[in-house]
Structure formats: C-alpha cells, structure tokens
Structure 1
Amino acid sequence: MLFKRLHFYAFLFFNLTLRLNSGVSLTSDGLSLLSLKSAVDNGAAVFADWNEDDMTPCRWTGISCTNVSGSDDPRVVGISVSGKNLRGYIPSELGSLFYLRRLNLHGNNFYGSIPDQLFNASSLHSIYLYGNNLSGSLPPSMCNLPRLQNLDLSRNSLSGSFPKFLRNCRPLQRLILAGNKFSGEISEGIFPELANLEQLDLSSNGFNGSIPNDIGELKSLSGTLNLSFNHFTGKIPKTLGDLPLTVSFDLRNNDLSGEIPQTGSFSNQGPTAFLNNPMLCGFPLQRSCKKDVDITPSVQIGSRGNEGVNEEKGGLKSGVIILICLADAIGVAFIGLVIVYIYWKKKDSNGCSCTGKRKLGGNEKTSLCSLPCINGFPSNDSEVESEKGGGGAASGGVSGGEGDLVAIDKGFNFELDELLRASAYVLGKSGLGIVYKVVLGNGVPVAVRRLGEGGEQRYKEFVAEVQAIGRVKHPNVVKLRAYYWAPDEKLLISDFICNGNLASALRGKTGQPSPSLSWSTRLKIAKGTARGLAYLHECSPRKYVHGDIKPSNILLDSEYQPYISDFGLNRLITITGNNPSSSGGFIGGAFPYLKPVEPEKINNYRAPEARLPNNRPTQKWDVYSFGVVLLELLTGKSPELSSPTSSTSTEILDLVRWVRKGFDEESPLVDMVDPILLQEIRAKKEVLSVFHIALACTELDHEVRPRMKTVAENIEKVGT
C-alpha cells in the first residue's frame, strides 16, 4: 500500500513538472481523480479515457461536472463508476473534491476501510458504496457532512457497533447498512435526532439486545422498517405502533418474544413481518398467547378443547359442564329434525320425475320433484322409449315433435342419442331452468342448460341469437359449443368449468372466503374477468351488455382462471317465453344448488339506475357490477352488510357505501380489507390501487364511470 502511494505521488510530481514546462495543466479535480485510477488494479478498460494530458476531467467516463460561482473551471460534482468489478481501495484524495455531491462506486470489489478524509468533501449528499468488500468501522467524520442525505453501505464487511455519533447525521433520509457484520446493542437517543429519516434498513447483521423504544419517533419513516435477520431479543416495543400507518415492518428471523402489540401501525401488518421468532405470539400469527388466568364459560366458545380444564383443581368448571350438556341436547334435536325432514320429502316425492312433465325423462303422469335428483336425464332404454312414445326418431329426442342438435363449434361433434344416454348431474336450478353436468361417451364433461318449452314461432330469432353468442371467443368467457331446438325443449351445451364459481369460493359452506383465495389469486380473477368483460363490450360481434355480472356468473377452473357466463341468456329466455327475472343458474357453471327457487332479493350488484323500472341495460351497468365484485374480492364481505353505529343499533349499508364511508373517514386499511389478505403484506399498495379502481367503477353517476376497456388496462398495471 505504501509503495503504491509513493508511486502515485512520484507519478503526479512527474506529470506536474511536464505541465509546468509545457504551460498546460490538468485541473486540481482531475489530479484528485487520477488517484482513483491509480488505486484500482484492473481498471485499464474503465479508465481508458482518463487521460492526464487532458485539461479537464469533465469528459471522462463516469464523471459529471458543473460550473460553480467563484471558479473559472467546471468542477466535478459526480463520480459514478459502478458495477465494473473494479478491485482496489478508495483513495483519501477524493476528499479534496470540494464540490463533489454524489459518489457511486457500488457493485465493485473495493476493499479496505472507508478513509476518514473522504468526508472532507463537504458537498457530499449521496454516498453509494454497497456491494463491495469494505471493512472496518464507520468513520465519525461522516456526520460532519452538512448535506448528507443518502448513505448506502449495504452488502460489505463493515463491523463494529451501531455508532452513537449517527445521531449527528440529522439531514439523513436513507440509512442502509444491511448485509454487514455490525453487532451489539443499539443505544437509545439516536433515532429521535434523525427527524428526516425515511428509510432504515439494518437487516442481516448481528445486532442483539432489545429494539430501542424510541425508534417509534421516526415520524418521517416510510416504506419498510427492516430489522430482520439479526438477534434482537425481548418484546416488540409498543412504540413501533406510533410509526406512520404506511410503514411496513420486517422483524423476521430474530429472537423476539411475547405478544405482538395491536396498536397503531401494527394493525396494518401481516404475519410475514414476524416470522421465525419462535417465542412471539398473537395476531396476525397463527400462534395464540397462553395466559395463566381463569377461563370463564364465555371465553370457552371457539377456544381449544383443553382450555376448559381447571389446571389447579383438575376438573371441569360447572359452567363448562352446563354448556356441554346443552350442546349435546341441541345436537340430538337437530339430527332428529333432519331425519323427519328427509322422511317427509321422500314421501312427498314418491313416484315423481326429476325432469318434469313432457321433458327429457318425464311423461304425462309425472310431476316436478321438490328436490332435483342426481340423474336428470334418462339412464336406461325403457325411459328413452317411454319418452319417444315407443318409436320416435332418435334425432328428435322429445315427444311432441322433432328437433335439431346443432354444433356451433365444428370440432365438437356428438349425437343427440349420446347426450340422452350420458350420465348427468344437477348443477343448478332456478327461474332460468335447470343446469346439468353431462359426461359424454368420450369422457368429456359439458354443461347443459334446459331453457324449457315455448317460443315455437321464433325459431329463426332463437338461432340467430345463439349463433351470435357462439361467435364469442375469449379465454375468459364460457364457450357455447352446441344447441338443441324442439317445440317443447331447448338446450344449450357449453364448456363445463370444473371449480365452481366465485360466489362459492367467497362464501362456500362456511360463509368465509376459501383459504385458496390469496391476494395473487384474487388479482388473477379480477384481471381475467376485466379482460373478458372488456372483450364483450368492445370486441364481441354485437358489443354485448351482460346485464348480470356477479360472483355466481364468474366461473373458476382448477387454476382459478375466471370465465364469464350467462351473457346473452336473458335475450334467449325472452325468446323462449320463460321468466328472466329470477337468476341463479348459469351456462357452464358448477355450483351445487339443491334448494327450491326463492323469490328474488334486491340485487346489490346492479347499478343504481338499473334498479329503476323500464330502464334498458347499458355497459356502464356492467362496470358498476364489476366494481362491486372487486370490493367483494377486497373485503371478503357480501354486497349487503350491517354496520354497527352504537352498542345497541346497526346501520344497514350496501358494500359500496360502507367502503366509501371508510375512505371518507380515513379508516385504517386493515378495517376494510379481508383479513386473509393481511398474510401478504407486500400486496398492501396493490390492494389500495384496486380499491381506487373499484370506487371509480361504482360512482353513482354513470357518466363518470370509466369504460370497461379503461378499467381492464388499469387493473393490468397492478402488480407489474
């Protein structure tokens, strides 16, 4: 090292002598920069144009200059020689660059310590030395810089304790020391002085002891407070909850213990923030905190089975025994009611057909069952012959006249007889007819909707409508494959989508969203649905208005790709003469629905103007409905909910009003978002973006709502 310095000084003396003799001299900034060239072992290519014969260094690679008052020559204000794999040391002569503002040497292989003299360059405000092999401790003189805002020394081999002198670096906005060898406890009294600090990353070091209580006084902090992969111990200070609500915590892989506080910004954190702290417990972790307190009967409900045991007395409390007996009695009574109900249903359904009078599988004497059966289509030859009247043509397949089975998709061919003999399972039943899953002879499942009888005089109109629907081809729209027409039977055959619909995924049997609906899955569903709906509005043959967008009409496959179903169905129902006012079935659907048709409830997915009589559907109706679906994906709540206004009363709000009220009152995001999404804390900004898209879609004034094409484009940008 000493030899190199002597060599460099001799080199400078020789060149300075030449300049004096020739009358030409390199500026003082240029001479200082040549020290960096001399300090690097393998920089011939990088510093090829750093020529000592030049009068100024301002055209050298990686050097930026500017004119400053009081100086005849441009002065060096920036050095950026990063990612070049340079091997050498940082020369102290760089400290003589009085006007140097930005030093960027990251991504190289500089070794040795950071020279104390470097910080004589008093104009420095940004120092980026990350990704090198620097060692030693931090020089105290760095905080003498009056303008230092950005200091990134991550991914080096720096060591020592977290220095107290850092409290003197008051202008600091970003302090990144991750991936070094710092150790020891962090003293209090440092962070309250760093009022401008926006980013703090101390991860992947060897810090130990407790997290300083006064770290919560960093009021300007944003982004992520990263203390992960250290050896911090003790409880998490509650003062971290005083940090701004937009701050995310990363406390993973420490030795923290105790219960996670539930105040302030803690409410916006997901479980990822606290992973791999074995002694940490409480929400949002799936690890409850044990407390040595008496457990009363009121807290027994929903608790672990062994918490009702009195550990001191070794027996059950009297209140627990009463609850157990009461639960047993209720269970026995419920089972009895179920048995009686099934018995009377079987008795009432004795001899009935599952398909109804003059339908596939029915006859003149049969009536419609109160519950759909599993095999709605005839399953043996005798039933088929009975329906044909003993000798009808197979192509007709229904009594009272012949019919045509027409394949819209030319590659999708099968015979009506194959359809009639196939295994069929009821999927849905409503005012729009019955939907079956039918497995054809080649093993391919299809969905068959029975539209019923009627509309004999409107055959051409029916065919034209079906053919138009069949021309719709989009990856997120259910494909219609074929149709069947006869005077008293109309069938639509479409793709079978195997994983139910969004309504069952969001509600299911428990009333809670499926655990499979992670944020990434919900975003996939939202994007696919938006693409499909935008296609129907803009690119389909008739620029369709769907008119009934809701979760039960968004089908899901095994990969949770969404498919829009039921577009154009109301028009077909009108042609056939059925009542389209009741909705619940779906083309291509897969949702077990075994209850009688219920009266229609208020449809909170419909736009306000759609609820007025005699209004014709518009594409802006669909935009509003899609916005409600987005809000349901975000919140996990149904579109009609009750909001408590006091301890004794509740206010009935629809989902749109509830979310708008939350944003108007600046409620924490955690109060509105589905708790399942809190497990993916990195998605917080994405969730907020989708909230804004949903609120734009659900504007009361339909003129203000965006087109579906714009909505699809905006949502595609989320997460990319």
Structure 2
Amino acid sequence: MFILFFLQFTLALSLTPDGLSLLSLKSAVDQDGSTTAFVDWNENDANPCRWTGISCMNITGFSDPRVVGISVAGKNLRGYIPSELGGLVYLRRLNLHNNNFYGSLPSQLFNATSLHSIFLYSNNLSGYLPPSLCTLPRLQNLDLSNNSLSGPISESLKNCKQLQRLILARNKFSGEIPAGIWPELENLLQLDLSANNLSGAIPDDIGQLSTLSGTLNLSYNHFSGKLPKSLGNLPVTVSFDLRNNNLSGEIPQTGSFVNQGPTAFLNNPNLCGFPLQKTCRKSQQDSTPSPDSSSNGENSNSNKGLSPGLIILISVADAAAVAIIGLVIVYIYWKKKDNANGCSCTGKSKLGSGNQKRAQFCACLCVNGFKSEESELDEGERMERAGKGEGELVAIDKGFTFELDELLRASAYVLGKSGLGIVYKVVLGNGIPVAVRRLGEGGEQRYKEFAAEVQAIGRVKHPNVVRLRAYYWAPDEKLLISDFISNGNLITALRGRSGQSSSSLSWSTRLKIAKGAAKGLAYLHECSPRKFVHGDIKPSNILIDNEYQAHISDFGLNRLISITGNNPSSSGGFIGGALPYLKSVQTEKTNNYKAPEARVTGSRPTQKWDVYSFGVVLLEMLTGKSPELSPTTSTSIEIPDLVRWIRKGFEEEKPLSDMVDPMLLQEVHAKKEVLAVFHVALACTEADPEIRPRMKTVSENIDRIGTSRYRDLKSQRFVDQSPGILFASGSAVRTTI
C-alpha cells in the first residue's frame, strides 16, 4: 500500500494535472498493441504538450501551459470516452472522429466549459444526448454524426446560443422535433439531421434560422404533413434536402422554395407541384344527395338516389369530356406560343418553366443534341439568330456528346447559390454528372465577344484544370456546362465537412494537391491560348477529385461575368460545380488571399497576383490556419495576416512546431519537405511582385520536393533540403524542427 501511494505521489510530481487527465484517455483505450497513437504519451514528462495530438497554450496566472486541444482522429482506437476529460477546463477542441469509441457520452465531459468544438463523428457511441451538453457557453461546432445515439432531440438544445454547426446525421434519434429550439439558435450555419428515425411535422420555426447556409438536410427520416411555408424565409443560399420522407401536399412557391431542384423533394410519394413532375389534384369533396323537399314519407323510402353503376358511368363520361377540352386548350396555347416567340415545345423543349418564380433554367433549348464542330453555324448566322432572340447550344468538346433531352429530363440538384445565380449538378442518362452554371440574362449585344471568350476557355485542356464542355447562349440566358468534380474543394479537404480546425489529411496528400494545383495554374499562365490570369486563387477554387488530384476552377469567369453585366463578386466552384460545405459567398474585404497590389481599387490583374495567392494557399495547407475572417470558421484558426504571422515566426526563430499544422508533426519523415514548402510559400508572398517567381518556376520547384534536392527560387540554384536555413525577404532566417 505504501509503495502504491509512493508511485502515485511521484507521478503527481512529474506530470501536470492536465497530463493526468489525458492519461485517463490512454487507459480507456484497448491496448492491443496495434496502435501507435499514444506511443509518446509518457507519464514521466513534465507536461503533455509534446504528446501526439495535444495542443497547449500559455494561460495567464499559470506557470505551466494548459491543454487546449485533443486531436486523435482516424487511429482505429477502441474504447470509451473517460469522464476525467471534463477536468481539462481550458480544453477548446475535442477531435476523436473516425475511431471505434463506444458507450455513452459522459455528462462530466461538459465540465470542460471552454469547449467550442466537439468532433466525435464516425464512432460507435450510443445512448441519449446529455441535457448538460448546452451548459457549454462557447459551444460552436457539434458533429456526432454516424454513431448509434438514440432518443429524442432534446429541447435543451435551445440553450446552445453560440452553436454554428449541429450535425447529428446517421444516428437513431426518434420522435418529433420540439418547437421553440430554432429561434434561439441565432448563429446556426449548418443543420444536418438526416438518416435518423425522426417523425411528425417539420417545425415551422426552422424557417427562422436566418443565418443558415449550405444545405438544410432533413432527408431519410419519417417526417410527415405539409411543407411549412416558413422554409421559404430561409436565405437564398440555402439548399433543401428533404428526400425520403412522408411529406405530402403541394410544394410552396415562395421564397427559397423556387430555387430548389427536384432532387430536394424526391421519394415523398404524396408530395406534388413544381419542381417535381407531378401535378397536384384538388381532392374531390364528398357530396350526399339531399331528399326532395316536396317528397313525403312514403316516397322517401322508395327514392334512394342513383345506382352505383350509373354514378361510375357519369364520372367516366365527365372525365373524358374534361380530357378532350384540355387537349384542345393545350393545342391552341402552344400554337399561339409558337407563333408568338418562335419557341416551340413541339420542336424544342423547356428546361424549367417560363414563370420566373418557378424558373431553374428558363431557356428554350433544341432537343437535337449538341452540334458537332463541322455542323456549327458560321459567325454571321449565329449573330443573326442571337439578334432574333433565338438560343444556340454549342459543344466545345467534340468528344463529349449526348442528347440534350437527357439534360432537360435529368434531375437537377442545387449545389450552391450566390448573387451570381445557381450552380446545378445534373446526372445524365449514362450516369455522367455535369455541372451547369447560369451566368445571367445580360450582354445581349456582346454575343461575339462572349463566344470568343468561352471558346478560349474551352481550348484549355490540362488534367489539373476543370474542363468546359459546352455553353448555351440566348439573350435571356447563358449557361456553362463543365465537368463535375466530385470530392469538394481544398476547404473541405483541409477542414472536413464541418469546418474543424484540422483534418486527417496526410502530408503526402497535401503535397500531391499542391503539386497538381501548381501545374494547373502554371499551364494557365504559360501554355493556355490566352495566357490566363486567374485573379481569384483561393481554396474554394481548387477542386479535388476522388484521387485527390487538384483542379483549378473559375478561370476566365470574371471576364464572362463582366460581358453579361453581372456583379463579379467572388464565389467558389462556379466552373466545375463542387462547392464547399462552408459558406460560399465571400466579400472582397475578407479576401486575404489577394496580393497587396490587388487590393488597390482599379488595378489590373496580373500573373504575379496569382503567385501571391497561391503562396497564401500553401501557407494555409502547412499551418491549417485560415487567412479569412469569416463566420464559417472557428476563431481559433483565424490568422487575418497569415503571411506576416509566418514571417515573424521565422524572424523570431520560433520552432516549426509552433506554426505547422499539428497533424503534420506526426509524420517525422515529412519535416524537411514541410520546411521546403514553407520556403516556396514565402518566396511567392514577397511584397514586391517583381521579386516573386513565375508560376512555372514555382511548379517546377514544388514538383522536386520529395526528392533529395530542390531549386532555390531566388538564386535559381539547387540546394540541399536541410532543416536549418530558410531564405525569406532577402535574409537568412533559422528555424528548428
């Protein structure tokens, strides 16, 4: 007994209280020898700040740094979440997603009152959602999706006043959603309750979530009743996903409803109205024959009304008469419409409706498929047809052909919306998805200029650049049809779908993305027909496919928007379609990816703008910190002037571990490569544009990283990838790893 007391006393002297609380997590995990997640969690250390996955910060009034972050994700850990973690009173981020933790959430965990982000998705957690959850005063991000949590949605959620993301998808929650929760969540940006056992009516007060963005996801539940009209009050940037429920009645045609594609409402058998291809029928009112007022009691027994057979015969005759009259009316209507505006649905077909409230793509398009380049009209004929108000669909890629009626009949899923319109994902009959971008209605007199610009964009063919396949021109409609990139963008790759501060994205994957993006941008600068200047390089415009290859999107878009006369405000993923899960609309004043000279009003874009922006993107990939002040990101990862912060860190000779994403520190072999990419990023972000390298040189340099030697961007000589020296701003600065 004395020996045990002595050992505990010695341990207490050697490790801080935060470290002892963390050791409870190590003890709670099954030690089968298959994991190295806790290999450096040593109880003999003075503090836990150098342990894998642990972040610390110096707090005023304490001699030892305090634990502020736990990130042990994707390690295949099996165990339970210990209640002792609640003793970490300065813990801000708990990130244990993609493991095999089981059991219930301990209510004592919420004694850690500094928590603002909890990411426990993709585990085996069970039990109810603890009512004490919302005693956390700073809780902003809660992702418990893909577990086995059950029970009702607690009314106590209304006390989570600071909540920005609530993701409870793919659990076993049941019952009705109580009213009164949603008006209290004034900061909520993302709500996902999909794939549960929730039932009852959709609460009217969800329509009061005025800050919501992205997708309101209530799909794969058992919601019933009519759609509340209040959902139309949600911001126009919100997409609905209400699939696979038991909703009924007519889809309202107000507010945000009119911008939704049909995919949002699929598999609700009793739902009808636009945009579904199911018209609503008014229910027939039952009528009971009343007795004749002049009849006496004797006649009332013998006069029992019409026989059932006669009633059926009359009903059939009435229906046939109504059908014939309807056909005549429809024929007359379309005959007049053909003569009035030359847009016939006998030879052409509409995508959407002519009613502007209901329109998705309000355009008459020929159903003869894309024209080949050999059969295209000459320029004079195109101008003549455009002047007459007729539309023209042009295939840029001769090898990308399909019947246009496939496009017209396909379900369109809204990927995102902004002040510039809507981006749709459309899956064609052969299973190929495309992205369709509406550019607007202006620029009627500038067809030749528009066509020349689009053709130049279409001639860009590079594996790291999004491919434009076709376009449609009419005075009242312009569409771009391009490849759909399926795996989101660099924002979602770095931060995950919930916007957490870090992800499990490995260094090799990040380097692969950086190399691909650099090659694509260098091609645009050096080899494309117009030697394009992108002008808006940032993570939302770097799309990622399933193989984690990068694709540059949105090049040339600002020019097209200026031709059509729309406001060229920035919004990611227009050409290519894979919009971020985070809020897509950024204002100019928060775009800190721009070069200093690009922030001067009236300045013309240059390729050196793009080089600077790419350098900032590299720094974000290295640090996991965003340079943009946005309500969609946690304040703990915001660095308004990321370039200055990094330069100051190197000048003060801070350890690299103070600046790099903690996830990368686990990959010991990558440290020299990380330092080499820092070198490239700092060269790209020189304040003087003349000093910045060309994008071709940047790409060649990054491509060599991972080999034994790479090129110094300033001296153009090969240097060894040593961890000690980094050149920045013309002077040598030293850092340690």
Normalising by the smaller structure, the TM-score range is 0.5 to 0.7
Length, aligned pairs only: 436
Q: 2:694 aligns with which of 684, 698, 707?
A: 707
> After superposition, where does 1:623-662 map in structure 2 within 5 Å?
623-640=611-628, 653-662=640-649
Alignment of 1:718 with 2:502, yes or no, is no
Question: 1:373 matched to which residue of 2?
Answer: 260
Partners of 1:395 and 1:404 within 8 A in 2: no
1:717/1:651 CA distance change after superposition, 3 Å? closer
- Aligned residue for 1:341? 205
- Alignment partner of 2:595 out of 594, 604, 607: 607
Give the CA deviation at 1:405.
Answer: 1.3
State which of 661, 665, 676 in structure 2 corresponds to 1:678. 665
Distance 1:571 1:635 in 2: 33
Give yes or no for the alignment of 1:439 onto 2:427. yes
2:417 is the counterpart of 1:429: yes
Measured in 2, the distance between the counterparts of 1:531 and 1:603 equals: 23
Distance 1:526 1:483 in 2: 30
Partner of 2:676: 689
Equivalent position SS for 1:687: helix
Instruction: Classify 1:466/1:393 alpha carbon distance in 2 versus 1 (closer, same or farther; 3 Å).
Output: farther
Q: Matched residues in 2 for 1:596 and 1:565: separation? A: 14
After TM superposition, the structure 1 stretch with the greater mean CA deviation from structure 2, 666-675 or 388-397, is 388-397
Which residues in structure 2 correspond to 1:196-345 (within 5 Å)?
258-259=42-43, 261=45, 267=50, 298=89, 305-306=105-106, 308=108, 323=132, 326=135, 330-332=156-158, 336-338=180-182, 339-343=203-207
Contiguous gaps of at least 5 residues in structure 1: 1-233, 239-251, 272-281, 310-320, 356-364, 643-648
- Per-residue CA deviations over 1:551-609 (Å, capped at 9, x if unaligned) read 11111111110100000011111111111134244211222669796755421011010
Deviates more, 1:604-613 or 1:367-376: 367-376
- Name the SS of the counterpart of 2:206 in structure 1: helix
Name the SS of the counterpart of 1:451 in structure 2.
Answer: strand
> What is the TM-score with the length of structure 1 in the denominator?
0.53
**Whose radius of gyration is greater, 1 or 2?**
1
Residue 670 of structure 1 and its aligned partner are, at CA, apart by 0.8
**Contact conserved, 1:429 with 1:585, CA < 8 A, in 2?**
no
Q: CA RMSD in A?
A: 4.7
The residue number in structure 1 matching 2:217 is: none
* Superposition pairs of residues 362-511 of structure 1, within 5 angstroms: 369=256, 372-375=259-262, 380=277, 389=337, 391-392=344-345, 394-395=347-348, 397=350, 398=363, 401-511=389-499
1:50-93 CA-partner distances (Å, limit 9, x unpaired): xxxxxxxxxxxxxxxxxxxxxxxxxxxxxxxxxxxxxxxxxxxx
2:522 maps to 1:521: no
- Percentage of matched positions with identical amino acids: 64
The code of the aligned residue for 1:373 comes to: Q
C-alpha separation between the residues in 2 aligned to 1:582 and 1:284?
Answer: 33
**Cα deviation code 1:126-145 (max 9, x no counterpart):** xxxxxxxxxxxxxxxxxxxx
The structural deviation recorded for 1:633 is 0.4
CA distance in 1, matches of 2:519, 2:71: 34
Change beyond 3 A, Cα 1:508–1:600 = farther
User: CA offset at residue 483 of structure 1?
Assistant: 0.5
Q: Structure 1 residues 602 and 351 mapped into 2: Cα distance closer, same or farther (>3 Å)?
A: closer
User: 2-side partners of 1:290 and 1:348: how far apart?
Assistant: 40
Of the three residues 564, 588, 591, the one matched with 1:576 is 564
Shift of 1:259: 2.4
CA contact (8 A) 2:392 2:474 kept: yes
Quickly say closer, same or farther: Cα 1:394–1:522, change in 2 above 3 A.
farther
Paired AA for residue 669 in structure 2: R
Does the 8 Å CA contact 1:379/1:421 hold for their aligned counterparts?
Answer: no
Residue 330 of structure 1, CA deviation: 3.9
**CA 1:332 to 1:676, structure 2 compared with 1: closer, same or farther past 3 Å?**
same
Residue 331 of structure 1 aligns to which amino acid in structure 2? L
Tell me the distance in 2 between the aligned counterparts of 1:500 and 1:254: 32
Residues of 1 paired with 2:85 and 2:472: CA distance?
A: 68
Structure 2 residues not aligned, in runs of 5+: 1-10, 16-35, 55-68, 95-103, 110-129, 137-153, 161-177, 183-202, 210-227, 238-251, 264-273, 281-329, 339-343, 351-362, 365-387, 631-635, 708-737
The aligned counterpart of 1:698 is 685
What secondary structure, in the 3-state scheme, does the structure 1 residue paired with 2:262 have? coil
Q: What amino acid is the match of 1:504? A: T
* Contact 1:429-1:593 within 8 A present in 2 as well: no
Deviation at 1:618, TM superposition (A): 0.1
Displacement after TM superposition at 1:515 (Å): 3.7
Deviation at 1:512, TM superposition (A): 2.2
Q: Which letter maps to 1:574?
A: S
Q: Given the superposition, is the C-alpha separation of residues 260 and 542 from structure 1 closer, same or farther in structure 2, using an over 3 Å criterion?
A: farther
Contact in 1 for aligned 2:465/2:520 (Cα 8 Å): yes
Instruction: Tell whether the 8 Å contact from 2:507 to 2:664 is kept in structure 1 after alignment.
Output: yes
- The answer as to whether partners of 2:443 and 2:564 remain within 8 angstroms in 1 is yes
SS of equivalent to 1:457: coil
Cα offset, 1:348, TM superposition: 4.9
Q: Which residue of 1 aligns with 2:382?
A: none
Deviation at 1:623, TM superposition (A): 0.1
In structure 2, the CA distance between the partners of 1:531 and 1:452, relative to structure 1 (3 Å rule), is: same
* 697-706 vs 578-587, greater mean Cα deviation: 578-587
1:462–1:593 distance in 2 versus 1, CA, 3 Å: farther
Partner of 1:591: 579
Query: How far 1:449 moved relative to its partner?
Result: 0.3
Determine the C-alpha separation between the residues in 2 that align with 1:488 and 1:603: 31
Sort the Cα spacing of 1:425 and 1:717 in 2 relative to 1 into closer, same or farther, 3 A.
same
Q: 1:396 to 1:700 in 2, by over 3 A?
A: farther
Report the secondary structure of 1:549's partner residue. Answer: coil
Deviation at 1:675, TM superposition (A): 1.1
3-state SS, counterpart of residue 528 of structure 2? coil
Task: Go from structure 1 to structure 2 and tell me whether the alpha carbon gap of 1:545 and 1:256 turns closer, same or farther (over 3 Å shift).
Answer: closer
What is the CA–CA distance in structure 1 between the aligned matches of 2:490 and 2:258, rounded to whole Å? 24
Partner deviation per Cα, 1:656-675 (whole Å, 9 max, x = no partner)? 11111111111111111111
Counterpart code for 1:520: S
Q: Give the Cα–Cα distance (whole angstroms) in 2 for the partners of residues 633 and 351 of structure 1.
A: 37
Aligned equivalent of 2:551 = 563
Deviation at 1:394, TM superposition (A): 4.6
Deviation per CA, 1:460-500, whole angstroms, max 9, x where unpaired? 11111111111000000000001111110111000011101
CA distance in 2, matches of 1:255, 1:532: 40
Is contact 2:497–2:581 with CA below 8 Å preserved after alignment?
no
TM-score, scaled to structure 2: 0.52
Cα pair distance change 1:709/1:366, threshold 3 Å: same
Q: Give, in whole Å, the separation in 2 of the partners of 1:255 and 1:268.
A: 9
Distance 1:603 1:472, change over 3 A: same
2-side partners of 1:294 and 1:618: how far apart?
51
Whole-angstrom distance in 1 between the partners of 2:400 and 2:656: 49
